[in-house]
Structure 1
């Protein structure tokens, strides 16, 4: 009699819940960094612009005898209050709102008890501190620059930035065919270089976040088809209840007439340990000598590193097939990444009822779901000393006749046999594979990224208009209609938005590759996949937010009073 002692990790729902929570934890470490960077960038712009707009007031304060420290304290206090208020609201949403949302999703997927929410000072106060330091330091620098001028200089309007020739003017065959207003637009784009960089960078960051959210969603949605259609070519994996019933199981498969082709292997659970002693549970598949596993499992080298991040790795079909040798094992990339091993590494295997033995890793093969390890019969027998006891194949990988429904039904009937421990239909596995919690998290990320994009665009657009009020007033005096002024301003913003969007799409692919690498777990490898529709939706969402902002900007432009705006301060 053989005893199998298992812990709660062997329960499917427990392991699924654990992997779901691990994925959320990984996203929680990576995404806030990008959000924080973009948010700080926009806050710096807003505070710097606020100080510059009050230069006349600062000059008045200096003229009345107020000290520089008193004036700087006014703006630093405003920035500090805004950061603290925003930090309190952000902590409420982060520690209450989002966890409650995720708990509702989890309760729809699993039967779990209620949990108590707690505040983590390291994350809560640390995030607010990072944000506050960035904004307050930028405010100090802006105030220092303004207070270093004399009151007379500050109480006069800031001189407009001088125009300059642009690189495009060198191409006379293009420049000569452009209209006057188009030439002005091009010069204005490069005239305000800081605004150009801030706008393009901010929009690129927001677009990248949206693309990244869709990348995670598309990657998760394709995991099932990649594993159970592209990698696993068999339709059925049938494992005997014991070595004694293996022959009866194989005889039944032959008598049923459903099998088109088959490969016999030995399947068992095992534990793999790396050099540091870290272990992972794996499924050990022993391939008999002379048996070709290629018709049933497509073994290809794994893609890792920069190829995975930037998306220039060869397609799986273009990579050479791996052949299992007698001098090493083939390890699934999910398990290899989790344990930090690669081809040439030495690991230890502890199979059921057998002593722990060291073996060499021949190569890491592409695998997205599961932690399979392939070993040849010769290496298995020489390593674990089972040659004397006799080698028995206890499992069959088979392709079946009929459609997917009939294959699933046959596997279910076969699993009820006393001779069979498990009968797994890959069609059923592909249909049932779901990562609903990840979909909810992705939806939340995309929504937050969209809101951030709207805030970024509105901040940059309002800054653009406030900097050029006198310019717009001059155009009105010269006879420009409101529609022409709208076109004049919006054309620049639209060009910058397009540039930021075009830059953000490939940037999102890179960030998606980095973040999916963070999501990897022992039983799952996130092979980055982004549908072209996701790129289109991300670009369309950014442009949609840009048009909303332009509509609000047009109303501000309509309210500009030429007389009041051009009135001399004297």
Structure 2
């Protein structure tokens, strides 16, 4: 009996290959996207963790505004929980007008932050040096002599280039951080042996903790653990800043006190000489002693004003490119929760309908088996095997294909980082989830329909269900319009509303696929509009000219207007409810009168303009969110080596990067320093590549001009490459799902109405008329599905882009009209293709077999 039933199941599959394959394909596509995209985030994190573990990237870096000593290193090593701690020297020098290099100390025995050798070998003597591979762009080659300007931190000025390297400290393949020298950006880094340095203090102390070894970088567990370890270390070193201040001032204070004592004794000696006996020489000496005492006293007061150094604890998020990589990973992970989930939902919904209709179609067979004495379990076995095969094949093949292809493809699109070795993990949880979803769609629907049908008596099952009675529809009540419709049109409209379940399911299926495609196009629009919107709606200047002299005037025929400003890279410290620092561009315009020509400050909630005032700073929207501060709140900002508190006067709309705007008056108030512009914001007449190049050349020849940058055209390094690749996958797979869904629904529609279609063929309808009879309904349902799909797509797009906003990026929520057009055209093209396939199927309907007596 089981063999016979298994054969019956195989015949059910072979007699309806199209239906079986369409079910498998729907589940396969849903599973492929669900597992593939959801596994991408963990795979990206695992690849990064493998890279950082291989090159022993430190968990935390300790830096101080007054340098670090051997005592600091000793205390860190002895701190509970610290596994390894190593100190590093560092010097940043300006090598040329547009070339700033950070030189780090290198030790062959170092355990942390090991270098990845690209070519050559690592330094073996104090006269050898290795360069960042970015230095190749400057023309440096192996074996050449490398010279640096004379600086107090390095013993030598000439080195031999023996290798090119990457460092785990710099995840980005283009960005090397900021500095106070030159243009404000580090061009590349270099490593020289420790013997080449003559610094008394260290620049940083890197460390790893004992309890982070088995945690994956970038994950919440890892971040929480590092935060806890950092807090313990801060508590242990709580009194160290004051000790360090005393270490710095005590030798000088001792010397000053000695000088003061000597001057006081000399003054006492001179005062003992009677006034009548004082000569001109003694009077002059007395005046000199008094002046010396005053000078030394002033020096002592200034020395005592030496501030307590600030000890900064920088986790990995402050490393250049590190957070950008994980922000992109998190953006993809955020999309992976929504888009594939909705995709799989549509697949499950359509599959549920298909399986249900298939069992409903076989009611007579089920009734006959019941009448012959077969148990419910045996009768169900055929449909359970059919459903299991379809569900498991689709879920397993789709899940494995998604796991093996999509994450690797997306990783290859992340070109703006130094991570080149892909490492995957088997996403067991997602594979199990998609198998469960596939079985719910197939086996679940089969079980539900079987339970309902097997409750009926065999005689009721063997009897054909009575067709639904026709009813008047709303359109019939509009008599002038109804009278103008042809007979075929009237029948089509009545059929649409006669089978409401089929109509709703078809509209939902088409709307889901159209919505997925529109959301995909919308994501692409939001990613592509990021920079254009930033520099058309927010920032209206094209270039920034960095000057050596604040009062220096620049002139060029391509400059339309210019504005003096202090432009500097600063860091905001974590506030309550946040865990990370943020690198921010601080902009202080010399005057606020015409500043709106260069930057538009606009309230993100109501669109009303904001103004710079002397009562606080204006910060960008994403910075306010990340730092958990709002209007009238307070922000801690590190400007150079100074930590200041700034009141937030307003929040402004911004799409790319973190910015902080304030007036010269408020800058002086919070820093206590005089205001000195460093740059000119320029608006140029022509922004073509040739015009920018020529303008650069002319400006750099002018005295006092240090650098010229064009932010809009250098902003391509924003981490959006992975999202762009995900969008292509979304659109392609959404289109494929739409095609299969339409085919499946049309197939179900024809199989349900076989007797009806055979009847109209017997009545004399030609093949084209029969096709039109069905196609007319499909066209109407497709158009309705497209309209509802646009609404679904808009909601889905907004939800996805809000979830994808990480790092310093705030995506514009825009969908351009071509997205609506293409999603509609693709859906209609698929509908047309299915219509052609349907036409040939309708031509081959066997009328006599279909009209055979049901009783």
The corresponding residue for 2:668 is 381
Q: Are 2:658 and 1:362 equivalent residues in the alignment?
A: no
The corresponding residue for 1:306 is none
Q: CA deviation at 1:379?
A: 3.0
Match of 1:136 among 433, 436, 443: 443
The corresponding residue for 1:372 is 659
Q: CA deviation at 1:463?
A: 0.7
Match of 2:676 among 379, 388, 392: 392
Please tell me whether the aligned partners of residues 630 and 648 of structure 2 are also in contact (alpha carbons under 8 angstroms): yes
Q: CA deviation at 1:464?
A: 0.5
Please tell me whether the aligned partners of residues 401 and 407 of structure 1 are also in contact (alpha carbons under 8 angstroms): no
* Cα distance change, pair 135–301 in 1 and its aligned pair in 2 (3 A): farther
The corresponding residue for 2:778 is 493
Q: CA deviation at 1:467?
A: 0.6
What 5-or-longer segments of structure 2 have no aligned partner?
1-64, 67-90, 93-101, 105-168, 176-319
Distance in 2 between the 1:508 and 1:143 partners? 35
The corresponding residue for 2:564 is 264
Structure 2 counterparts to residues 176-215 of structure 1, below 5 A:
176-215=483-522
The corresponding residue for 1:307 is none
Distance in 2 between the 1:19 and 1:422 partners? 30
Q: CA deviation at 1:298?
A: 1.5
Name which one, 1 or 2, has greater alpha-carbon Rg.
2
Q: CA deviation at 1:437?
A: 4.0
Distance in 2 between the 1:117 and 1:186 partners? 53
Distance in 2 between the 1:201 and 1:412 partners? 60
Q: CA deviation at 1:431?
A: 8.0
Q: CA deviation at 1:439?
A: 3.1
The corresponding residue for 2:583 is 281
Please tell me whether the aligned partners of residues 408 and 428 of structure 1 are also in contact (alpha carbons under 8 angstroms): no
The corresponding residue for 2:346 is 38
Structure 2 counterparts to residues 104-123 of structure 1, below 5 A:
104-106=412-414, 112-123=419-430
Q: CA deviation at 1:211?
A: 0.8
Q: Are 2:170 and 1:8 equivalent residues in the alignment?
A: yes
Secondary structure of 1:294's partner? helix
Distance in 1 between the 2:829 and 2:445 partners? 31
The corresponding residue for 2:692 is 407
Please tell me whether the aligned partners of residues 246 and 395 of structure 1 are also in contact (alpha carbons under 8 angstroms): no
Q: How many residues align?
A: 544
* Cα distance change, pair 223–416 in 1 and its aligned pair in 2 (3 A): farther
* Cα distance change, pair 221–548 in 1 and its aligned pair in 2 (3 A): same
* Cα distance change, pair 422–507 in 1 and its aligned pair in 2 (3 A): farther
Structure 2 counterparts to residues 170-569 of structure 1, below 5 A:
170-240=477-547, 245-247=548-550, 250-251=551-552, 253-254=553-554, 259-272=559-572, 273-279=574-580, 280-288=582-590, 292-302=594-604, 319-357=607-645, 359-383=646-670, 386-387=671-672, 389-402=673-686, 404=688, 405-411=690-696, 414=699, 422-426=707-711, 428-429=713-714, 435-569=720-854
Q: CA deviation at 1:124?
A: 1.8
Secondary structure of 2:544's partner? strand
Q: CA deviation at 1:106?
A: 3.8
More helix by share: 1
Distance in 1 between the 2:788 and 2:812 partners? 23
The corresponding residue for 2:280 is none
Please tell me whether the aligned partners of residues 338 and 520 of structure 1 are also in contact (alpha carbons under 8 angstroms): no
Please tell me whether the aligned partners of residues 590 and 664 of structure 2 are also in contact (alpha carbons under 8 angstroms): yes
Match of 1:101 among 372, 391, 409: 409
The corresponding residue for 1:85 is 393
Q: CA deviation at 1:422?
A: 4.3
Q: CA deviation at 1:558?
A: 1.4
Q: CA deviation at 1:478?
A: 1.1
Normalization by structure 1: what TM-score?
A: 0.88
Distance in 2 between the 1:395 and 1:330 partners? 20
Q: CA deviation at 1:257?
A: 6.1
* Cα distance change, pair 174–540 in 1 and its aligned pair in 2 (3 A): same
The corresponding residue for 2:433 is 126
Please tell me whether the aligned partners of residues 263 and 291 of structure 1 are also in contact (alpha carbons under 8 angstroms): no
Distance in 2 between the 1:514 and 1:117 partners? 28
Task: Pick which of 177-186 and 60-69 moved more.
Answer: 60-69
* Cα distance change, pair 196–220 in 1 and its aligned pair in 2 (3 A): same
Q: CA deviation at 1:73?
A: 4.3
Normalization by structure 2: what TM-score?
A: 0.60
* Cα distance change, pair 271–395 in 1 and its aligned pair in 2 (3 A): same
Please tell me whether the aligned partners of residues 411 and 425 of structure 1 are also in contact (alpha carbons under 8 angstroms): no
Please tell me whether the aligned partners of residues 203 and 501 of structure 1 are also in contact (alpha carbons under 8 angstroms): yes
The corresponding residue for 1:163 is 470
Q: Looking at both structures, which has the greater relative contact order when contacts are Cα pairs under 8 Å and sequence separation is at least 6?
A: 1
Distance in 2 between the 1:406 and 1:354 partners? 39
* Cα distance change, pair 78–422 in 1 and its aligned pair in 2 (3 A): farther
Match of 1:51 among 331, 352, 359: 359
Q: CA deviation at 1:261?
A: 2.5
* Cα distance change, pair 558–536 in 1 and its aligned pair in 2 (3 A): same
What 5-or-longer segments of structure 1 have no aligned partner?
304-313
Distance in 2 between the 1:126 and 1:164 partners? 43
